[in-house]
Structure 1
Amino acid sequence: MSTQADASLMVQLLQWHTAAGGMDASMALMAPGFDPDAATVQDRDVFVMLMLGETIGTFVKQGVLDAGLVYDLWAPGLMWNRVGPAALRQRDAFAVPALWENFEALAKGELG
């Protein structure tokens, strides 16, 4: 069950995300012309979304943020579908299996 503290933290995360260009990133990632298979983590919009997703995923994994609130308020699976291919390519290129793992786990419903 989420608490007032969970809601406050989620609002702070969304404010941080917006300040980092997250609204523009979200719009760009959801645009009909966005191609997840051509995107890279060096694309600012992709990176901004990956940072939010990884941060939220980490907080959920560590028990700092309620998963139910996150799933009710945000669409991690949808966002992962847009940026996940770029994240997985970077993970393979760097040979770091843990890279972006918390966002991926959140998107797959494996946390919480």
Structure 2
Amino acid sequence: MANREDAALLVQLAQWGSTMGIEEAQHAIWSDTFDPETASAEDVLVSRILTWGETVGTLTKNGLLDTDLVLDWLWVSGLWTRVGPAAVKLREKHGVPELYENFEALATRQG
């Protein structure tokens, strides 16, 4: 069950996201011209979403932030649908299946 500490951390994540330009990145990945299949983690805007999503996923995985609160706040599965293919390509390129695994797990949990 979420508490005030979770709420405070959620607001801090929103502030960090704003500082790092998450709104610009979201606009880019939701654009009609964005193609998830050709997207690359080398694109700074895609990378922002991946980094931010992995951070949120890691916090929830480790019980430091209430998962239900996050899933009520964010459409994690939608974000992963857009940038996940870029993460998978990066995993394959470097042979590191753990890259962005917490982001993906949180998205899968949301369904």
TM-score (norm 2): 0.96
Q: Please name the residue that 2:35 is paired with.
A: 35
The Cα RMSD (Å) is: 0.9
Counterpart Cα distance in 2 of 1:96 and 1:28: 26
Q: Please name the residue that 1:50 is paired with.
A: 50
Secondary structure at the counterpart of residue 109 of structure 1? helix
Q: CA shift at 1:14, angstroms?
A: 1.2
Residue pairs, 1:1-112, within 5 angstroms: 1-109=1-109
Q: Percent identity?
A: 45
Secondary structure at the counterpart of residue 108 of structure 1? helix
Q: CA shift at 1:71, angstroms?
A: 0.5
Secondary structure at the counterpart of residue 41 of structure 2? coil
Q: CA shift at 1:18, angstroms?
A: 1.0
Deviations 1:27-67 (A, max 9, x none): 11111111011110011110000011100000000000000
- Aligned length in residues: 110
Amino acid at match of 2:11: V
Q: CA shift at 1:97, angstroms?
A: 1.1
TM-score (norm 1): 0.96
The structure 1 segments of at least 4 consecutive aligned residues displaced by more than 6 Å after TM superposition are none
Counterpart Cα distance in 1 of 2:47 and 2:10: 19
Q: CA shift at 1:89, angstroms?
A: 0.3
